[in-house]
Structure 1
Amino acid sequence: MDSVKNGHLQASLSHVPFVITPSAAVEVESRVISMAISQNGEHLAISHWDGNLQICDGDGRQVNLCPIEGRAGVVVATPSGGFIVGAIEGNLHAVDTRGNIAWEYEVGGGVEDLQASAGGIVCLDGAGKVHMLDSNGRAKNTIEANSAQSLVYDRRGNTLAVISSDGSVRTYSPSGDMILERQPRNDKGERITAACFDSTGHLVIARETLGLAAQGEDEVEVEWWTPLGELVDIQGLDTRCTALTSYSSGVLAGTFAGEVYLLDRAQERVDVWKSEYAINSLTHFGVDVLVASWFHLYRITFATENRTEEPTWQVEHPGIVDFVSLDKAQEVLCIGGEDRNDYTGEEPVLILDPHSEPKWLDAEGDDPWVQDLPVDETASPVGELDISDDYSELLTAEEQAQLAAGHGARLPSQDGVGDSAGGGGSGGTGEEVDLPIAVSVLGEGVADELLSALNTELEDDESASVDEVTSHEDLMAGLVEEVGGHRISPVANSGDDRVVATGEDGTAVVRLDGGDSYDPNERIQRWLWKDGRGKVIGEVAKIRVRLSNGKHRFELSVLDDDGVWTTDTTFITVQ
């Protein structure tokens, strides 16, 4: 069982109602560090933190799991249909769609960055050299670039830009001749935060000043350089530029503050969209743009008469979206990432059809676009509560006596789906149960100790009159109010990982039980169960699902009335 807090889910569910459903989810054994889909969309390559390269078909079925000497790192797709893989501590490898190594190219110190285009392959090694190769792995040129940190290749392979950690940028022709040498404009240091080539071959660079900006300069600026190395335009931005991508009429820029702009060399800046969180990446998608921000990928339509204030659709990933990959025809979309939490399982890679019809996500009830997992006709269906309304066996003898006498706080039962477990919850429809208010919030022992200490203090105070002594009921009501005033996150509990056996039909009916989830203030408002593909399969504490052989991942999220979500993951292995 793994837990992770996430206080940001509510806004995304309520603000973006249209979603598309993943067609497949690829489970991974260790953290994803790079991924690419083949240009024909038929295969997917995933580099794992453990060093293996996983090859899958377009339906997410594993074709091969290849150990790469030196540990698989950056992976890119090639025009020929295969992949190029740079080892973190080894060489450059060409791998076909079956996982076979076609050729190997020796580099020093491992591969730091890697790009491929119609013009060939370029890689940056750990020794500070840039290697320019043809598509068969034969060396064409080698460039010394000791402080280089990343590479940018134009789509035609005509120009290579080498970005250095000191803020300098150099561009090279396919023959290795230097075209442009851009030096930092600020002697106190600056860095390049994003770069791309636009559709006309201009190099676009986003820079950030690390010290005080010079007079007449902005701390964050976007520069335009011609293919011949001439600076032709500078545009200021309010916050750090985190992503740049080419667009037909300029470039799209994403910022740390969540803005997405369309920029061109005529000093025009068009507001495209605003996310609540920083922009991770931008991907040109037809006339639209795919925006990765926090745990979501959004499709933004802005250049046609169909433009709306809300995204055309969104996809929520179990992790922060680090990787977005499209095939050449833009018919297949893959998303990967991780949640930055050591206590959770590895997040899957999602495969989607980006052109599929968006469906309305009803955040208040059952999700109408989700295909329910098949369930046993005799078992409780998905969404059915399976808990008892009789609390008497949970009470002590003293509490049962108070219940019979009609004393104590009145708490609603859990008959209402998504209702609070404490007084003040919305929508309670079940019968009320009497429990002592001190016990229900603080626990019997804690309440007795507090009362004893307070009574002793009052007895020692000779000036205290009878009118000044707080009654038992008023005192405990005040304590409950004080405790309830603090924002304490709920705790999701999806249950332990389990191994279950199949029945005669080769499947198993499994009960997913989130009943041990709790909120210190007894204010859980919603439960949300998702399967390994991110589909919502239930919105109550306990559900039943029918599973086939294999390892299945389920995620439970609970929400309190402060709008805070927490999430827990469980794995069910059927064998």
Structure 2
Amino acid sequence: MSPRDQDLDGVGIVSAIDVHGGLVFLDETGAVRSMTEAGERTFLSGVQTLHDANERFVLVSVGDVLGIHSLVSGEAVWARPSRGIHGERITAAMLLDDGALVAREGYAMTGDEDVVEIERWGSTDLLWRHAHEEVVLGLASTSIGILAHDQSGAVLRLTREEAKEIHHAGSGVRALVDLGDEVCIAAWFNVHGLGATGLVWTVEHPGMPSALSVLGNQLLVVGDDGNDWTGPEPLGVVDLDAEVFEVDPSELTAWVPPPIQEADEVPSMIEPSPDLEPEVTEHEWQAPSGLMDALNEATPEGASTGEKEEDLLAALTEEGAKGPSRPFTVDLGEHREVRATADGVAEVLLESNVSGAPVEGLMFAWSTSDGREIGTKGRLLLKLPRGTHRFELRVRHPDGRWAMDGIQVHVA
């Protein structure tokens, strides 16, 4: 399909999938449309999520029903039976041969326990099912097998017999690209090359990689350095034909050129204070010179104060350890309504309020309504088009507990 401009009547695109000879996309009105050189047409409406598409079918969620529809007529050819009387969420889904691969999260009665499963459906029946501990966020059919990845960073190779972990990245996978005999994934600040049995190579990126692309024998890595876009974002290029060699972990970023140092043109408003030489005063405590002096010498006031402070801190710490633990919660606040600028986009900052947990050691996982992970920090800066958007935040306590909250943002 040759590049060309197309007027979409000002309706924002939620997601798009490249299909041979065209494009299938979901717009903000819930319509699924097909665009080819022959023209554009709408063949489905009322769709919440577009999961996958190929030359013949699309896999979509309409209401609470996940189904396969004809790309030509929009007619439903398969619908997955819903499960769980307390509700469930489809976190990932893809077309596979004559059926589908589905990852679901079922909600237990108390809400404290989630049931996560990966289902393999044929044209009509369930072929196999595997349980998993963490929420699965992505599925892919690749050259090294059928893969799944979860919110903790585990990458699984799926067969009828088992779901085998071949690598754990330590953080959720943000991008994946198939090289033909290897699969590259981006997670945290690293890019990993995976074979059928596990890790083959890894490099570290100065920013958090968010997109991967292959150009000839080079892998292009786009990353966000987390500075709220106030400076240039790092771009890495990996030579896929280069030999793999071992380096110290501290040298994993040596392949990326250092950033250009820009001169600081802001004038200094305060002159630095000169170094002050320590002065000995008559009140300064001197070490005793002999045994009798040591016996007669009073304890320095500073040392006594320090010991009292340490005793007080120890008492407070011990008392705190014995006290009841506070409930662990996260709060994103009320639903928000914002107004877009002239270009139809609004910049929105989402912030989390976590209680009952220490500041250090928390793990954050922001996701969209379709389960796609978009952030791993306590704050999330977004640029949103007009429409209604829902986001969820899961926070993991250092002791293993999870807390979750959601927020809806309407951009007018």
Match of 1:318 in 2: 207
1:413-424 alignment runs, 5 A limit: none
Match of 1:173 in 2: 70
Structure 2 CA distance for partners of 1:107 and 1:219, relative to 1, 3 Å: farther
Given that 1:301 and 1:312 are in contact with CA atoms closer than 8 Å, whether structure 2 keeps it comes out as no
Given that 1:277 and 1:293 are in contact with CA atoms closer than 8 Å, whether structure 2 keeps it comes out as yes
Structure 2 CA distance for partners of 1:479 and 1:257, relative to 1, 3 Å: farther
Given that 2:43 and 2:71 are in contact with CA atoms closer than 8 Å, whether structure 1 keeps it comes out as no
Structure 2 CA distance for partners of 1:368 and 1:275, relative to 1, 3 Å: closer
User: What is the rounded CA distance, in whole Å, between the counterparts of 1:298 and 1:326 in structure 2?
Assistant: 14
Match of 2:396 in 1: none
1:293 aligns with 2:181: no
1:424-443 alignment runs, 5 A limit: none
- Where relative contact order (Cα < 8 A, 6+ residues apart) is larger, the structure is 1
Structure 2 CA distance for partners of 1:468 and 1:167, relative to 1, 3 Å: farther
Match of 1:185 in 2: 83
Of 471, 486, 490, 2:300 maps to 471
Match of 2:40 in 1: 139
Q: Which amino acid aligns with 2:214?
A: L
Given that 2:135 and 2:151 are in contact with CA atoms closer than 8 Å, whether structure 1 keeps it comes out as yes
1:335-354 alignment runs, 5 A limit: 335-339=221-225, 342=228, 344-345=230-231, 347-354=233-240
Q: Which amino acid aligns with 2:69?
A: Y
Given that 1:244 and 1:282 are in contact with CA atoms closer than 8 Å, whether structure 2 keeps it comes out as no
TM-score of the superposed pair, with normalisation by structure 2: 0.58
Given that 2:151 and 2:172 are in contact with CA atoms closer than 8 Å, whether structure 1 keeps it comes out as yes
Match of 2:147 in 1: 252
Structure 2 CA distance for partners of 1:103 and 1:235, relative to 1, 3 Å: same
C-alpha deviations, 1:350-390, integer Å up to 9, x for none? 34333333454435689876778999xxxxxxxxxxxxxxx
Question: How far has the Cα of 1:241 moved from its partner?
Answer: 0.4
Match of 2:172 in 1: 278
Question: How far has the Cα of 1:311 moved from its partner?
Answer: 4.6
Structure 2 CA distance for partners of 1:275 and 1:189, relative to 1, 3 Å: same
User: What is the rounded CA distance, in whole Å, between the counterparts of 1:126 and 1:115 in structure 2?
Assistant: 15
Q: Which amino acid aligns with 1:221?
A: E
Question: How far has the Cα of 1:195 moved from its partner?
Answer: 1.9
C-alpha deviations, 1:102-148, integer Å up to 9, x for none? 231435632111111215211111111111122x260244211x242
- Secondary structure at the residue paired with 2:303? helix
Structure 2 CA distance for partners of 1:361 and 1:475, relative to 1, 3 Å: farther
Match of 1:209 in 2: 106
User: Any unmatched runs of 5+ in structure 2?
Assistant: 262-272, 288-294, 315-412
1:395 aligns with 2:283: no
User: What is the rounded CA distance, in whole Å, between the counterparts of 2:179 and 2:305 in structure 1?
Assistant: 60
Number of residue pairs matched by the alignment: 291
User: What is the rounded CA distance, in whole Å, between the counterparts of 1:110 and 1:372 in structure 2?
Assistant: 38
User: Any unmatched runs of 5+ in structure 1?
Assistant: 1-79, 83-95, 97-101, 376-391, 409-465, 486-575
Question: How far has the Cα of 1:163 moved from its partner?
Answer: 3.1
C-alpha deviations, 1:456-509, integer Å up to 9, x for none? xxxxxxxxxx99974146347659989x99xxxxxxxxxxxxxxxxxxxxxxxx
Task: Tell me how large the CA RMSD over aligned residues is.
Answer: 4.2
* Bigger share in strand: 2
Q: Which amino acid aligns with 1:394?
A: D
1:50-129 alignment runs, 5 A limit: 80=1, 96=3, 102-107=4-9, 109-129=11-31
